[in-house]
Amino acid sequence: MTGPSHRASDRFSERLRALSDEHQGSIARFHERLLAFERSGLLSRDQQRIVSEHLLRLGERRRNPANTGNIEDLFCHTLEDTKDPIRAFAQALADSVKVVPMDENAPLFPAMKRVDGSKYFAKVADFDHLSAGDKMLVSHTMVAYGDPEMWRSACALVRVTHPELDDAGVDREVAKMAVQSQHLPSSTFVLARAAGLTIDCAPLYARAGYDAVATANAQRFYDVCAQFVPAWAAAFLDGRAPTDPAWSGWRADYLATRALLPEELIYQLSSDTLTNFHDATLESGKWTDASVFFGGVTNSNEVTDSIARIVNQYIAEHVALHDRPAAELTEAWTRVLEPWGIGFQNDRAVVLDRNPEKRDKVVAQFEEAWSRKNQ
């Protein structure tokens, strides 16, 4: 006799087989980890099924399969570290809509505005000064929480986790998820593209139940982020921080205002960096994809060098934006990166082997990314 759990499993498998090969591999791996969390008690069956449904919908809605591994690493790291499924799902939702081009009509929550107040950005199309790729980089966390289906998914997880909450309480908790997910300032690559733009904090923070002081502190932080000078990004792309006095003054303001943010948002800013080079992220091809779409890579032989440069960028940002030692990242990433031909010397990534253990994987990822870019 077939029980409900077997029917649910069969239905999951049936829907998974209908997806592209790229989606199938990354979703199946993530799903196995979710089942392990259910067996260990870190997730209930209902929580596991809500997250698994979200993964299937990523494929069915044609989200970028190269990003699923990064969502996996964000979710699993946060769940293991905090033991909080809601915080883990907040991380996963935030990075679930990285597609180029984005839906021009996709609404943003929270909305953005120019720091001088001259323009308001309520949907993706409003960023008419940005390229298609830059629209994705700047807006993806806002699009995720502006998406009705994803908002309902977050509500469902909150309800099964906290059944004592009424509808208003559930809405408040999902808004808190959106607060902790606005990690645009964790990357100088994104900060450079969002120059002059700030998040409109008041509607979101009020909905999440934060008081006026917390709201004002967050607004000040994002206003400081808007003052990032795009020319500074060149230094980070070279794996180092700028040295001019203006940078030093901006960094002091950034760190001072960052320290006043909600704790969950501070955690997101740093963990978003930490998980960027975990196993699933590399296996699903996020950085090969980024190298093709943003790094000018046109040949699979260039991918390893490109990823090494990206690693050095994130190390420099970890020190500059999170005020943390480089060794935190190099120690966490050494085992993962070596099969991809990358190692570390003096806290900098170096190419060890341009024909590494994962060479066949790199070639396959490049071909998939190149195909997506040229569709």
Cα–Cα distance measured from residue 284 to residue 282, given in angstroms and rounded to the nearest whole number: 6
Q: Which DSSP string corresponds to 297-332? A: --SGGGHHHHHHHHHHHHHHHHHHHH---THHHHHH
Cα–Cα distance measured from residue 206 to residue 216, given in angstroms and rounded to the nearest whole number: 11
DSSP state of 107: E
Q: Is the peptide bond before 110 cis (omega within 30 degrees of 0)?
A: yes
- Tokens coding 248: 């030093």
Ordered per-residue pLDDT tens for the chain, 375 residues = 455 566 667 789 999 999 988 889 889 999 999 999 999 999 999 999 999 999 999 999 988 777 888 899 999 999 999 999 999 999 999 999 988 899 999 999 999 999 999 999 999 999 999 999 999 999 999 999 999 999 999 999 999 999 999 999 999 999 999 999 998 888 899 999 999 999 999 999 999 999 999 999 999 999 999 999 999 999 999 999 999 999 999 999 999 999 999 999 999 888 888 888 999 889 888 889 889 988 889 999 999 999 999 999 999 999 999 999 999 999 999 999 999 999 999 999 999 988 899 999 999 999 988 988 887
Nearest to 79 by CA among 26, 38, 46: 38
Task: Indicate the SS3 state at residue 198.
Answer: strand
Cα–Cα distance measured from residue 34 to residue 15, given in angstroms and rounded to the nearest whole number: 17
Q: Is the peptide bond before 242 cis (omega within 30 degrees of 0)?
A: no
The Cα-based distances of 319 to 77, 157, 168, 323, 328 in angstroms read 21, 35, 40, 5, 10
Burial level of 207, CB count in 10 A (0-12/13-18/19+)?
A: middle
Cα–Cα distance measured from residue 329 to residue 325, given in angstroms and rounded to the nearest whole number: 8
Could you state, in order of their start, the residue ranges of all structural domains in the chain?
13-284, 285-375
Nearest to 138 by CA among 92, 187, 90, 184: 184
Cα–Cα distance measured from residue 367 to residue 326, given in angstroms and rounded to the nearest whole number: 32
